[in-house]
Structure 1
Amino acid sequence: MNDSHAVVVGGGIGGLSAALALHRHGWRVTVLERAAELREVGAGLSLMANAVRALDALGLGPALRDGGHGEAPGGIRDRHGRWLSRVDAADMVRQLGTTALGVHRATLHRTLREALPASSVHTDATVEHVEPGPDRAEVRYRGTDGGHTLAADLVVGADGLRSRVRAQLWPRHPDPVYAGSTTWRAAIAFPDPVPAAITWGPGAEFGMVPIGAGQLYWYAAVNTPPGGHAPDELAAVRERFGDWHDPIPALLTATPPEVVLRHDIYHLAEPLPSYVRGRVALLGDAAHPMTPNLGQGAGQAIEDAVVLGAVCAGGAADVPGALAAYDAQRRPRSQSVARASFTAGRFGQQLRNPVALALRDIALRLTPGRATLRGMARYADWSPPAG
């Protein structure tokens, strides 16, 4: 263990991944989480090959493969159940070296937390100010016992979509904007075999992903103005998707109303000019909040963490140089993925025009599955830095 100290603001998947990556390279890490309890609120995740490789680099791949579900062959269907595009699992492994992995968010969060020293995580800690350096950084936060100030060689802003660190250090940068869709999510008990698949309808999408242990994660998204809520969100999903193809009605029947989550989708329409200011680095949704249409949000955050750990492997001796390398490696890729994800949503879930829908569906049916996989590989074929 060297004497380098990093403060990570945010105890979500990105923050814990960053803490673990730095800890594995000998850093002393303090995680500050403003919630009273360290837990992940959410349903499931589909981790593409790049995310699985990043988790392997953190030493967590075997545990998550045991606790998750290697995705069954699936693809894209229309609302009547006709396949528009199929993905073969064997071809995916040949193309990408591994299959995707469906996992409950809580399983991933718990696995990350348990890999860190318990003393490194502080809950009920609200960060009020970050001083970025240049020689040392400081973090002022308020806990249950009053105010505190921590000196740090490195601060990682991993505090999510509405990042206070980003807002403080980039005060003139536009906030995330509404992407045009709202989404419902739930993780349920559903032991019957189901492929990992997406179904598209006009301005709507329904997805399903097995996540292991007899559980399944489903999500639904529609075009709608922001800020909407229903007295019974499950009833709202049934009204829109209840007559779509099997097994969608059965999934909704198996869903307890109280587990359904609803969130509007936001993204950072104007990318940041840098992820670094002084000795502070942004990571995950704090740096590049993106739409979920490529299933890459969590994967990009975990990639960020692995790269950050690798460039900082030498400790505090050259943090500015390490962060310059981090920004150079991560900003172009993550912003490219964010742009592609937004575009995928516009031509997938959000598409409504009947003529455009028909042309898109024909094009999908005529595209060979291996060509579709090559398109996926543009974003999923990533490997961690050596060492």
Structure 2
Amino acid sequence: MGGNSAVVVGGGIGGLAAAIGLRLAGWEVTVVERVAVLDDAGAGISLAANGMRALAALGVGEAVEAAARRQYTGGTRTPDGRRLSLMDGAALERELGAPIVGIPRTGLHRVLREALPAESLRIGAEVTDIDTSQPPRVRVAFGSTTLDADLVVAADGINSRTRQRLFPAHPGPAYSGSTVLRAITRRPVEGLTTDFELTWGHGAEFGHIAFPDGRAEWHAVLNAPAGVRYPDPLTEVRRRFADWHEPIPALLAATAPAAVLHHDVHELATPLPSYVAGRIALLGDAAHAMTPHLGQGACQALEDAVTLAAAVAGERTVEAALSRYDAARRPRSQTVARDARRAGRMGQQLVNPLAVGLRNAAIRLTPPGVMVRTVLKHADWTPPRIAPRTA
């Protein structure tokens, strides 16, 4: 299919990546994003090999690597600093042929935006209607503009209005039981010697992602009722993690109070029966929002984007392309979401002291080769080729 037009609803990582992929497939694309600034200033992100392979397939892998820090060192620890497992990022990179990297979300958004022509981005505009009453075209209204499209990609996040419209009986997002506070330090952090690290306590996790300039993003994940908020979030995190090992105190000391973000973690605990309806495709969190415990949310959205573009490029009709996309993406992404939920229950969310002790002992006794295979289960993904049909 060539010379067709698509509207992407949502200008986050998945939506921008989908737009890049569809343009590679020969389509005209318009991205409509309701917020005026395309970033998440207080957050960083780790991208596993599957995410980096997807970015390479979109032609932006080298630019992302240039803005990121490769993750070779770190692992998992207990609050007193004892090692549970060591990270061997170099071994994983050799095995997969792609690195694990850490990057500020602002940097990733910038690379993705710069791969698109400015005129294809409609920022600060909210989609108000998606009209499917005159197939095969879909009419999308935003602001004072109306566009007719051959395909609509709904990448409008966990609270996707498009998903609610397509699947009104679906219960929607569910609270996971975890809440996360996070920030990027305002300066380089002294004593930060690892690229990526997680520390597990009882119903709590603290982790960091180091950046090329010496700054880092940290996150604190806590078991908590939904909606709990603190008058001074940074003071609360310092209190909660006061006796945890370095560099946790150093990370918090390098943080400005106003930089701390606080969000409850929701997920689509009930899997969707389909990621497509007519000529509308759901992508990223709109399709399979998952907990962060495997670090796969953005990677799965990037996989979605490449798979959708390859399907559109390789099939004669939009309907056939979306059927192929759904068949490829739904089983894998829903499996990753389920595994992320399980990882949280056995990791950050675990509270019982006996269970925590047994888990820690099991991790220490796990051979490194088994740990590598566990990572490979999710990160070993080969992107399809985005090659438009010639006949």
Report the TM-score, using the length of structure 1 for normalisation.
Answer: 0.96
- Residues 55-96 of structure 1: CA distance to partner in whole angstroms, max 9, x if unpaired? 111111111111110013211100001001112223212332
Give the structure 2 partner of residue 322 of structure 1: 321
* Aligned partners of 2:189 and 2:251 also within 8 Å: no
Shift of 1:130: 1.5
- Verify: 1:148 aligned to 2:149, yes or no: no
What are the residue-to-residue correspondences of 1:147-186 with 2, within 5 Å?
A: 147-186=144-183
Give the structure 1 partner of residue 358 of structure 2: 359
What are the residue-to-residue correspondences of 1:178-217 with 2, within 5 Å?
A: 178-188=175-185, 189-192=187-190, 193-195=192-194, 196-217=196-217
* Aligned partners of 2:57 and 2:306 also within 8 Å: yes
Distance 1:39 1:222 in 2: 24
2:213 corresponds to which letter in structure 1? A
Indicate the SS of the match to 1:293.
helix
Give the structure 2 partner of residue 238 of structure 1: 238
Distance 2:36 2:88 in 1: 43
- Verify: 1:104 aligned to 2:101, yes or no: no
* Aligned partners of 1:67 and 1:213 also within 8 Å: no
- Verify: 1:4 aligned to 2:8, yes or no: no
What are the residue-to-residue correspondences of 1:205-284 with 2, within 5 Å?
A: 205-284=205-284
Shift of 1:191: 4.8
Give the structure 2 partner of residue 289 of structure 1: 289
Indicate the SS of the match to 1:128.
strand
Q: Indicate the percent of aligned positions where both proteins have the same amino acid.
A: 54
Give the structure 1 partner of residue 51 of structure 2: 51
Give the structure 2 partner of residue 136 of structure 1: 137
* Aligned partners of 1:203 and 1:223 also within 8 Å: yes
- Residues 187-234 of structure 1: CA distance to partner in whole angstroms, max 9, x if unpaired? 123254431110000000001111222221111101000101111110
Distance 2:230 2:189 in 1: 29
Shift of 1:139: 1.1
Query: Gapped runs of 5+ residues in structure 1?
Result: none
Give the structure 2 partner of residue 81 of structure 1: 81
* Aligned partners of 1:18 and 1:306 also within 8 Å: yes
2:160 corresponds to which letter in structure 1? S
Query: Gapped runs of 5+ residues in structure 2?
Result: 387-391
* Aligned partners of 1:190 and 1:251 also within 8 Å: no
Give the structure 2 partner of residue 27 of structure 1: 27
Distance 2:75 2:94 in 1: 17
- Residues 121-179 of structure 1: CA distance to partner in whole angstroms, max 9, x if unpaired? 002211122234641111122x2xxx332110000000001001101111111110100
* Aligned partners of 2:21 and 2:58 also within 8 Å: yes
- Verify: 1:303 aligned to 2:307, yes or no: no
Shift of 1:238: 0.5
Distance 1:297 1:285 in 2: 7
1:190 corresponds to which letter in structure 2? P
Shift of 1:340: 0.3
Distance 1:177 1:301 in 2: 19
Give the structure 1 partner of residue 63 of structure 2: 63
Shift of 1:2: 4.0
Shift of 1:119: 0.2
Distance 1:283 1:42 in 2: 24
Distance 2:199 2:104 in 1: 21
